[in-house]
Amino acid sequence: MKNKKGIIIASFGTTYEVTRKLCIESIEKMIEEKYEDYLVLRAFTSEIVRSILKDRDGLDVYNPIGALNRMKEMGIKEVFIQSLHIIPGYEYEKIIKQVEDFKKENEDFIISVGKPLLYEDHDFRKVIEGLVAEKILGEEPVVFMGHGTEHSSDEAYGKLERMFADKGYGEVFIGTVEGARTIEDIIAQLKDKNIKKVILRPFMLVAGDHAINDMASEDEASWRNKLLANGIEAEIGLFGLGEISAVRNLFLEHLEAAINS
């Protein structure tokens, strides 16, 4: 048998094909090229995204358990799962729990899970260095839209913003859709600094539903229009983090750490 080991690349997923190709498939291809002797499978942790893709496009995507069961069918018992999540929140914990449940039934399996993007302090530093090196940060102030969560890992967004400031990038602001720091908090900061124009970008793996609708749309409640209503012009950058090579490389590093551990 060709494949003795397997890799599952697990992200939340997206229903938007273009950003899926740019931000998820680009990482998958990089991993497939590096680990050509491994069976590499895609998994989405969002059941809603999986359901939409199946009903709308006839596209079947595994969830992590489905991917593990496929590995089992193929006789592959050493599996590495790389999370493409940004923070170690509920979606990442869902993978950990599913792996624990699977191993109870399949004790002969060896399964390791690679860390999400922002886990250790050096991950934060590498993300900042990567965004600077690839000129994602320029002269203009930048407002990032993170997803956010009620999970304690939501604090990662504030930590990253503080680290930007510590490194001399004081005009980088990170708000969230569903976390503690909202666009209203960011607008207050911008007003305090008398900033009248920003670049607005998603701090998410893909530029999907939140970026297109909640951030950039003409909807009155979009971040773009909330900024405009407060006299702040927003130049839109619809690019997911998966399009940035430094981010892709950091996910690959996390996978390598799991494989070598």
C-alpha–C-alpha distance, residues 51 and 53, integer Å:
5
Plot region of 78 (φ>0 → left; ψ -120 to 50 → alpha; else → beta):
beta
Are 29 and 95 in a shared domain? Answer: yes
pTM of the shown model:
0.95
pLDDT in tens, 178-231: 999 999 999 999 999 999 999 999 999 999 999 999 999 999 999 999 999 999
**Judgement on whether residues 143 and 193 belong to the same structural domain of the protein:** yes
Quote the pLDDT of residue 184. 98
Residue 103 lies in a domain: yes
Q: Are 248 and 231 found together in one domain? A: no
Asked if residue 98 and residue 154 are part of one domain, the reply reads no
DSSP category for residue 219: S
Do 144 and 158 fall into the same domain?
yes
Residue 94, domain extent:
5-116+244-260
Q: Within this chain, do residues 223 and 255 fall inside the same structural domain, yes or no?
A: no
For residue 85, indicate whether it is catalytic: no
Residue 129 domain-assigned (yes or no): no
Q: Residue 139 falls within a domain, yes or no?
A: yes
103 and 171 part of one domain: no
Q: Are residues 142 and 227 in the same domain?
A: yes
What amino acid is encoded at 22 in this protein?
L
Shared-domain flag, residues 28 and 83: yes
Task: Answer whether residue 125 is part of any domain.
Answer: no
Say which CATH number the domain at 163 has. 3.40.50.1400
- Number of domains composing the chain: 2
Task: Note whether 71 and 151 are same-domain residues.
Answer: no
* Phi and psi at residue 59, to the nearest 5°: -100, 115
Is residue 122 a part of any domain in this protein? no
Q: Which amino acid is at 255?
A: L
State what percent of residues in the chain have pLDDT above 70: 99
Does residue 109 share a domain with residue 152?
no
Q: Which of 85, 147, 210, 254 is catalytic?
A: 147
Q: Is residue 69 part of a domain?
A: yes
- The verdict on residue 124 lying in a domain is no
pLDDT in 10s for each residue of the chain, 261 residues = 467 999 999 999 999 999 999 999 999 999 999 999 999 999 999 999 999 999 999 999 999 999 999 999 999 999 999 999 999 999 999 999 999 999 999 999 999 999 999 999 999 999 999 999 888 777 789 999 999 999 999 999 999 999 999 999 889 999 999 999 999 999 999 999 999 999 999 999 999 999 999 999 999 999 999 999 999 999 999 999 999 999 999 999 999 999 998
Residue 78 inside a domain? The answer is: yes
CA 76 to CA 98: how far, in whole Å?
17
The span from the CA of 253 to the CA of 55, in Å, is 35
200 and 151, same structural domain?
yes
Calculate the alpha carbon distances from 142 to 18, 27, 183 in Å: 24, 25, 13
